[in-house]
Structure formats: structure tokens, C-alpha cells
Amino acid sequence: MADKLIIVESPAKANTIKKFLGGSTKVVASMGHIRDLPKSKLGVDIENDFEPEYINIRGKGDLIKSLKKEASKAKKIYLATDPDREGEAIAWHLAYILNNDKEKIVRVTFNEITKGAVKKAIQEPRSIDINLVDAQQARRVLDRIVGYKISPLLWKKVKRGLSAGRVQSVAVKLIVDREEEIEKFIPEEYWNLFVDLEDEKSKKQFEARFYGKDNKKQEIHNKEEIDEILKNIEKAKYIVKEVKKGEKKRNAAPPFTTSTMQQEASRKLGFTLKKTMSIAQMLYEGIKIEGRGAVGLITYMRTDSTRISEEARKTAKEHIVATYGEEYYENRYYKTSKDSQDAHEAIRPTYADLEPDSIKSSLTNDQYKLYKLIYNRFMASQMASAIYNTMSVTIDANNYTFKANGQSIKFKGFMTLYVESEENKEEEKGMLPDLEENQEVKKIKINPKQSFTEPPPRYTEASLVKALEEKGIGRPSTYSPTITTILERHYIEKEQKQLVPTELGKVVNKLLIENFTDIINVEFTAKIENEFDEIAEGKEPWKKMIREFYGPFKKELDKVEKDLEHVELEDEVSDIPCEKCGRLMVYKYGRYGKFLACPGYPECKNTKPIVETIDVPCPSCGGKVIVKKSKRGRRFYICENNPKSCKYISWNKPKPGEKWDESQLKDIKKAQKNTP
């Protein structure tokens, strides 16, 4: 008979914990949730104050029997599910199926799976935090009501199988809104003016940029303005008016939160959010390390806090001082966002001595990459600032002002170990010559450059997460599933790394924002998230929040159902005749997006795919290039004559004048096989 039974979510976590505990302790896994709302119906009793109708999840009967059997043999049961609202809810459901014996069943949590953290948690058990459970129930019930009440409208008016969700619909709206901004964008002309100059003493050349006139900033809008400036400086002398030398510090970024880890892994490693979270889960739950067994390598990976423990701070200091020297250490504290729940530490390595390269052979390539990113970011966050020598120069040419800046690294500090991704990285600029005020510098060449303003960029997974976080939409646990869902529903698709709304996504978004303005709304969604936080803190009963939400929602829902009762969304008509009956075909939406169908259905069931072509000829034979998608939704480009007389196929959109040969087929041979 086991003295203690510990229940966790996953076998990997169970294996890591087992090695810390004695033989009289048994560790088993619940394999995630064991009870949930039924899929076949709403599962919320609206008439009975929104009571959830939980059922045991299908397929988990044998597991539940096994858990009950192990529980009956144990003197004490420790529910050690993840330390967040979802984990608290899983523990609550486990306690229910194990008969809620409060004398026997206790809750334990730990932010890292280390011997010290696990043993400390077991010595300090607590009861289940019903406030955290209620916050999870409120989210689950509210999202179920929104999804199950609005989705049938989409089935009737657009197509079956579609879903609406509180957070996912707002995410789609952001992407659609951005696409509309891009489509409406009108480029505006502007000019930059650069001049290559030379210090005649050192013969060193440098570049200065036009700033304005008489040291007042001036923008150049068109060719007339640039020609006027060029005429006035044609024979001008370039005189150094001001030289400023100094030092500039650059501070390290804080350790990762879920959001910043997802963003950096996307930019630096090319990982999707889903991949990042999957690998982080493995690193947290434990990986077999040669000579040490199963080791939890990082702290809990769902967090919005940049706080770290004093113990972690101490081990970081010891490691940095021993590895780099005293001058590289700086005791740093980072301010956590006012909207942060701050329930957990930032994401950091659990053991400072397990440097990424020392355990590389025990990790997969992707595990190593993410672990190294987390490890280096954390260590760098406790390191001294980088210091630059800086120099800025103001130059006069016939009353027109040019400026030049230079910098060089004086002390690398944290940058010895970690530099943020290209999006955030300051460019290293060479130092300028040792110039003096009032000296003349020699003009080598003038370079006017015409440019046009560009539309805002499309969202990537990383930038969408950043936008959701900034707007207060969702929480660390929701970013990845939200984006995964809208990709799987074909509301959006990826082009390279950019998120683009599909026609289906635009249609669904239009229907929702026209009819559910108060719900598919950034401010409303952020307000709801704050209410979940208040429930978690015990400040508001969860059913009161649902009651206040449901009244206005039901009124709006009834109105929309009535308004749309006799409205049929008309199919967009194409100019392509049906070859079977002659009617003009219409655009429909299916599993893989838009396709052509005969409007004469069911008499005529003719359908055909939409062939998307581009305006660049095939780089191999000059034929038309067709755009297709792999099963994973990745776009690729293929010649219309492939495979008859041309083998051209590529992941990358061909450029005008590009040459191609069969040697470039190496990494794309599977593309055709994976086409739906």
C-alpha cells in the first residue's frame, strides 16, 4: 500500500517526479482533463443559474477506474497538476471523481520540477483554490455559450462546421482589419539624401544624412524639393559645426514570459507558437539527461511575469561571475506589467550548471535550440549593460544641415551571451573619423534616394501575440490555441510567415461584426479577461459575471436570429460558365477554402478548384506559374506544364528574370505529394 499517491497530468512529468521521492510514493498521470462539458450539446443549464453539466470524457473510463483503485490504496493523495487555473480545475475534477475526501486529498503546486521544489510542495499542501477553479469555469462556460449559440448562425448562413469564439473571432478581426488597411493604403512619395564625405587627415570616409535647413528638421516630399536642395549644395563646402562624443548603455531584456518566448522563438528559430509551447512543455515536464535521469529543465512555461526567485538570482550570479568575471554581473529586477497575474516566475532554466552545450547530446535539435534561447536569455538578464562609445556630428553645407552618427562597442556585457532578435537589435555602426569642429570635410558623392511609404505589415504569429497581449486579449495559455484554431478553421492562412485572412474568414468576420458588435469587440474581450482575473482573486462570484453577460447577449442573439431569418447570403458569381449546364459558376467555401460550384445544385453537382496564377512566367520554360497548397497549408509555386514537359516547382515565389534548374528541386520534392 502506497503511503502517498501523487497525480499529475502527464507520464513525462510523473517520471521526473518519481526519482525525487521514496519507494512508498506512487506517481500516476491523469492524461490531462478527465471531466468536461459534453461536445454534443451546450452542457450549461441556463435555467438553473448556468450550472455546468460535466461528464467524464469519452475514452477515459479505464483510466478513471485505475485512478480510483490507486486512490483507495493510498493514505494521502496529492493533486500535483499544473500551477495555473487550468491545472486547478483538473485537480478539482480529480477530487470529485475520487469522492472529495478533504482529509485525504490535498493540492500541491510547484513552479519547477526540481527535488527541492517538489519536496517543499509536498511538505506544504493546501486545499484546492476554488477561486482559481471558478475563474476557469467562468471562461469555459462563457466561451461555450458564445460558441454554441453563435456557431449555428454561421452554419445556416455560410457553411456547416464553422465556429465562432470570443477570443478567436477578435483575433480574426485584427487580421482582417489589417488586410483592409493594406488594401486601402495609398503610398506617398518621399526622398532621403545621403552624402559620402571624407576626412582628409585620416582619409577615412563616412556617410551623412540630410536633416533639414539651419538645423531645423525638414522632410523632402518630391523631386522638385530634392532638385532645389541639390542645386543649392552643388558647390557648397561641408563644414563640421558640432561634434558630440559620449557613452551609451544598452540594458539586457528581461527573462521570458510566455508571450516574449513565443515571439523570440518565432523570429529567431522560425518556430510556430504551437511548436514552441509543445517543446517548452517537454522541457518543463522532464527530459532524460545522460548521467542524471529525467530532469525538468525549465520553470513553468505559462506565465506573464518577469519576476525571478532570490535563489535563482543567486545561482545566476555564481554562474556569471565564475564564467565571465565579476564585472559581467549586475543584480537586476524587472518591472512586471500592471496587467500581469504574476502568479509564477518568468521562464528560466531550473539548473544554472546545465549549460545548453553540456546536455546537447541528450536533446533533440529543436529542444536544444529552445532551451539555449531560454537559458541564454535568463543569464543575460542578470548581466551588466553593454557600453558603446558614441559620436554624433552636425555638418553644414550652405545652410543645409547633415548629420552623421557612429558607435562602437566598448564593453559587451550581456551581449557576450545574448542579443535580441533582428527586429529589436540596434545596428552596430562603425565609429566616425576623429573630426573637429569648424573643419572642412571633402564631398565624395551625393546620393538622393526616392522612396514611398509602405502599408503596415501583415501580422505574423509573433506580432499577433504581441498585439493580443498589448490589447489585453487572452492570457499566456490562450495565445497558441487561439491561433491554431483560426488556422484550422481556414479563417486565416499563412503566406511565408504572414497571416492572411481567407475569403471565408472575411465573410465570417463581416457577419459577426455586423450582428454582434458588442461581443466581437477588442475592448469587451479585454474587459472580460479582467473579470476572469477578479474571479480568480475572489473579488466576484463567477455566476454573477455570467448572469450579467447573458442577459444582453441573449437579447442581441434573439434580434440577430430574427433579422437573419429570411436573409440569404448570396454566393459571389464568377465569370466562368459551368461546362455541364452553362450556368455561371459561384464561389463556395470548403475544407480547403474557396472553390467553384454550379448554382444548379442538386440537379448539377459540378465543382472545380480555383486556379490561382501569378504574373511572373515560369523561370524554366516561360509557361504560367500556378499557386498551390500543401496539406499543411503552405503555398508553393508550380509550372502549369509540370510534370509533362517542365519540372519547375518551388516554395518561393519566382522573381522576374530568375533562372532555375533541376538542382533546386532538392528540398521541395514532397510538395506535389502533399497537395490536397
- 392 Cβ contact partners less than 8 Å away, ≥ 6 residues apart: 243, 244, 403, 404, 405, 406
Catalytic residue at 300? Answer: yes
Q: Residue type for 314, please?
A: K
Q: Which three cell numbers stand for residue 508?
A: 465570417
Catalytic residue selected from 78, 238, 284, 300: 300
Q: How far, in Å, CA of 619 to CA of 656, rounded? A: 8
Three-class SS of 488-523: HCCCEEEECCEEEECHHHHHHHHHHHHHCCCCCCHH
Buried b or exposed e, range 373-383, using 16+ CB within 10 angstroms: bbbbbbbbbbb
Three-class SS of 141-160: HHHHHHHHHHHHHHHHHCCC
122: left (phi over 0), alpha (psi -120 to 50) or beta: alpha
Long-range contacts of 580-586 (CB under 8 A, 24+ apart): 580/604, 580/606, 581/606
Q: Answer yes or no: are the C-beta atoms of 443 and 207 closer than 8 Å.
A: no
Q: How far, in Å, CA of 419 to CA of 417, rounded? A: 7
Angle at the Cα of 569 from the Cα atoms of 515 and 149, rounded to 5 degrees: 45
Residues shown for the chain:
676
Q: How far, in Å, CA of 147 to CA of 163, rounded? A: 6
Q: Which residue numbers are catalytic? A: 300
